[in-house]
C-alpha cells in the first residue's frame, strides 16, 4: 500500500532525480512548480516500481500526476499501485496533467474514462532557437522593442544572479511593487507573493536565475529549471516602465541558459487576458495539452438497477428490506464468515443498527462500488454474491457466501457461475477474479469448477474467468 509524504523544500533533490531527465515538457513535472504552488496543490509523493508518484488535491479532490519513471521505472506497475491505493480509499484513480505522449496509454488502459483537455491549462512551448534569435517577420515587434530598450539603456547587461545578489533582488521587488498594476487582483497578488518566496531558493543548484541590470539597478529577473530537453520558466518579472526590457530579457535568458534545450516552456496563461496576449506575441510553436483522465467503472454505464438472474434452482436479485433479518444472520455468522475474508462489523463507519448492513449494500451500489445479490431458494434468502473491487480496467472481484444450513448442495457454485457470467456479459467486464483461503477446501473446489486457477501465495488460491 502506498504511503505519501507531503512535499517540502527538503525534497528538492529527490524530485530532481526524476525530473532532471523527464521529457514530459509540462511545468507540473518540475521541482519548482511543486514547491512554488505547494500550498495550493498540497502535493505529496511516494516512490514505487522505480517511479515517482505525486498525489495532489485539486478542487478538494485527489488527483495524481502521471508517474515519472527512473532508469528502471515501470509506468504500468506504478499506475497499478495508484489504482490499488484508490480502491482501498474508495475513490477513482484520477490522473491529471497527463502529457500528450502518455494519453494513448491511458486511453487503452481505461475502457471508460472522462477526458478533459482545458485550454487554460495548456503550457506555451517555444523552440529555444526562436527565442534566442527572434528571427523572421513574426518577431519584428520584439526586435523593435529591444532596439528601443537598447537606445534608452545602452549599458544594460544580462547576467546570472546568485545569492550574493539578494540586495539587488530585494530592491527590484520594491521597484516592481511600485509599478504592479494588479494589486487588487487576489490571484495576481498571490502569485507575486509565491514568486518572491521562490526566489529565496535561487541558490539551489538546479535553478537557473538571471536578470537584466542597468548599472546597479535590476530591471528584470527570471528563474528556470531544466527538465529533460525543456527549459521551464517559473518566474519572469520586469519593470514595465523600461520599454522593451521584457523581450530583451526573454532573448538574453534563452541565449545564456538555453543551450542543450530544444524547448522553452513559459507555462500556462491562467486565463489571464494580458498573459495570453503576451505569450502569443512571442510565437509559441504549440500549446502543450494537459489531459485529465477520470476513469469510471462499467456499472456507471451498463447497470441502472440490480437485475434478476435465474438459475436451475435459484434466483439472484436485489436485497430488500424484508431480507434484513436473514441478511443480518448471514453477515453476523462469525464461524461461517471466517472464510469470507472481510469483517463486516469492523467495516462499518458508524454504530451498528438493524439496518446497517442493508444500507451499506444500498450505498455501495449507489456509489457504483459493488453489486450485492441476494441468493434466493424458493424466495428465501440463503446467501449472497457480491461483485466488487472494480479496478477501472475491466476487472472486478466476485465473492459468494451461503448460510450454514444450505451448504453442501452446490448452491454456491450455481450462484457464483450466474453472477460471474452476468458480470462478463451484462456489465461487459473483461475479467472476473476471485480468491479463497488455502484452508478452505470447499471454496477451492467450488471456484475450480467455474473458473481457472491464476496463482497462489502463502494465504490464498487465486482464480479468474475471462470473456
From first to last of its 467 residues, what are the pLDDT tens digits of the chain? 899 999 999 999 999 999 999 999 999 999 999 999 999 999 999 999 999 999 999 878 999 999 999 999 999 999 999 999 999 898 999 999 999 999 999 999 999 999 999 999 999 999 999 999 999 999 999 999 999 999 999 999 999 999 999 999 999 999 999 888 666 678 888 889 999 999 999 999 999 999 999 999 999 999 999 999 999 999 999 999 999 999 999 999 999 999 999 999 999 988 888 889 999 999 999 999 999 999 998 998 899 999 999 999 999 999 999 999 999 999 999 888 888 888 888 888 889 999 999 999 999 999 999 999 999 999 999 999 999 999 999 999 999 999 999 999 999 999 999 999 999 999 999 999 999 999 999 999 999 999 999 999 999 999 999 98
Is the distance from CB of 22 to CB of 29 less than 8 angstroms? yes
* Superfamily of 5-119 according to CATH: Gcn5-related N-acetyltransferase (GNAT) (3.40.630.30)
Three-state DSSP at 456 gives: strand
Please give the Cα distance from 394 to 389 (Å, whole number).
11
List, for residues 316-353, the tens digit of each pLDDT value. 999 999 999 999 999 999 888 888 888 888 888 889 99
Place of cell 500528450: 100
3-state secondary structure of 289: coil
| 38 SS3 class | helix
What tens digit of pLDDT does each residue of 126-137 get? 999 999 999 999
Q: SS3 of 134, please?
A: coil
Domain ranges of the chain: 5-119, 123-267, 299-466
Distance CA 35, CA 327 (A): 52
Q: Which stretches does DSSP call E strand in 128-192?
A: 157-160
Q: Decide: 52 and 68 in contact? Cβ < 8 Å.
A: yes
**Can you tell me which residue has the cell 532532471?**
20
How far out from the chain centre does Cα 448 lie?
Answer: 38
* Alpha carbon of residue 362 to chain centroid: 29
Q: What is the greatest pairwise CA distance in the chain?
A: 97
Q: Does the 299-466 domain belong in CATH 3.40.1080.10?
A: no
Which residues are bridge partners to 116 per DSSP? Answer: 292
> Taking the mean position of all CA atoms in its chain, how far away is CA 361?
29
Beta-carbon contacts of residue 131 (< 8 Å; ≥ 6 apart): 250, 251, 254, 258, 264, 282
Q: Which long-range contacts (CB under 8 A, 24 or more apart) does 345-354 make?
A: 354/324, 354/328
Residue 59 CB-half CA count within 13 A = 2
Instruction: Please report, to the nearest 10 degrees, the dihedral formed by the alpha carbons of residues 400, 401, 405, 410 taken in order.
Output: 20
Q: Choose among 268, 269, 211, 273: nearest CA to 242.
A: 211
**Residues of 353-365 as b/e, b for ≥16 C-beta within 10 angstroms?**
eeebbbebbeebb
5-119 and 123-267 share one fold: yes
- Supply the CATH classification number for the domain 123-267: 3.40.630.30
Cβ contacts of 6-9, under 8 Å, gap ≥ 24: 6/42, 6/43, 6/44, 7/34, 7/35, 7/38, 7/43, 7/44, 7/45, 7/54, 8/35, 8/38, 9/35, 9/201
Amino acid at each position: 500500500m502506498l504511503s505519501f509524504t507531503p512535499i517540502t523544500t527538503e525534497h528538492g533533490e529527490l524530485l530532481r532525480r526524476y525530473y532532471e531527465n523527464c521529457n514530459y515538457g509540462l511545468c507540473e513535472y518540475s521541482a519548482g512548480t511543486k514547491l512554488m504552488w505547494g500550498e495550493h496543490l498540497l502535493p505529496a509523493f511516494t516512490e514505487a516500481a522505480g517511479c515517482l508518484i505525486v498525489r495532489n488535491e485539486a478542487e478538494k479532490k485527489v488527483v495524481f500526476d502521471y508517474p515519472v519513471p527512473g532508469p528502471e521505472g515501470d509506468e504500468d506497475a506504478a499506475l497499478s499501485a495508484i489504482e490499488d491505493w484508490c480502491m482501498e480509499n474508495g475513490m477513482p484513480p484520477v490522473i491529471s496533467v497527463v502529457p500528450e505522449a502518455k494519453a494513448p496509454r491511458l486511453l487503452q488502459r481505461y475502457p471508460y474514462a472522462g477526458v478533459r483537455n482545458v485550454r487554460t491549462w495548456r503550457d506555451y512551448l517555444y523552440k529555444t532557437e526562436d527565442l534566442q534569435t527572434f528571427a523572421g517577420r513574426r518577431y519584428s515587434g520584439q526586435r523593435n522593442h529591444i532596439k528601443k530598450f537598447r537606445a534608452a539603456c545602452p549599458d544594460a547587461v544580462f547576467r546570472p544572479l546568485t545569492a550574493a545578489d539578494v540586495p539587488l533582488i530585494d530592491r527590484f521587488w520594491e521597484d516592481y511593487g511600485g509599478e504592479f498594476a494588479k494589486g487588487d487582483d487576489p490571484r495576481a497578488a498571490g502569485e507575486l507573493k509565491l514568486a518572491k518566496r521562490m526566489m529565496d531558493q535561487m541558490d539551489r543548484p538546479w535553478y537557473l536565475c538571471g536578470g537584466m541590470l542597468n548599472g546597479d539597478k535590476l530591471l528584470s529577473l527570471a528563474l528556470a529549471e531544466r527538465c529533460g530537453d525543456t527549459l521551464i520558466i517559473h518566474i519572469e518579472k520586469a519593470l514595465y516602465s523600461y520599454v522593451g526590457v521584457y523581450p530583451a530579457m526573454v532573448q538574453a535568458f534563452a541565449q545564456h541558459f538555453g543551450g542543450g534545450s530544444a524547448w522553452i516552456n513559459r507555462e500556462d496563461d491562467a486565463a489571464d487576458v494580458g498573459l495570453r496576449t503576451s505569450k502569443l506575441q512571442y510565437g509559441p510553436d504549440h500549446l502543450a495539452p494537459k489531459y485529465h483522465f477520470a476513469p469510471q467503472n462499467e456499472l456507471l454505464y451498463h447497470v441502472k438497477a440490480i437485475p434478476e438472474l435465474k438459475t436451475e434452482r435459484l434466483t439472484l436479485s436485489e436485497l430488500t428490506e424484508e431480507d434484513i433479518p436473514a441478511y443480518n444472520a448471514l453477515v453476523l455468522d462469525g464461524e461461517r464468515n471466517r472464510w469470507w475474508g472481510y469483517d463486516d462489523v469492523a467495516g462499518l463507519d458508524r454504530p451498528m443498527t438493524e439496518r446497517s448492513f442493508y444500507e451499506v449494500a444500498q450505498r455501495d451500489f449507489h456509489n457504483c462500488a459493488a453489486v450485492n445479490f441476494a441468493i434466493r431458494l424458493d424466495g428465501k434468502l440463503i446467501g449472497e454474491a457480491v461483485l466488487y473491487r472494480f479496478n477501472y480496467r475491466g476487472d472486478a472481484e466476485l465473492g459468494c457466501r451461503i448460510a450454514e444450513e444450505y451448504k453442501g448442495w452446490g448452491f454456491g457454485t450455481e450462484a457464483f457461475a450466474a453472477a460471474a457470467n452476468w458480470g462478463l456479459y451484462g456489465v461487459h467486464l473483461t475479467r472476473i477474479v476471485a480468491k479463497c483461503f488455502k484452508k478452505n477446501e470447499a471454496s477451492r473446489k467450488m471456484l475450480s469448477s467455474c473458473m481457472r486457477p491464476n496463482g497462489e501465495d502463502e494465504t490464498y488460491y487465486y482464480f479468474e474467468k475471462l470473456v
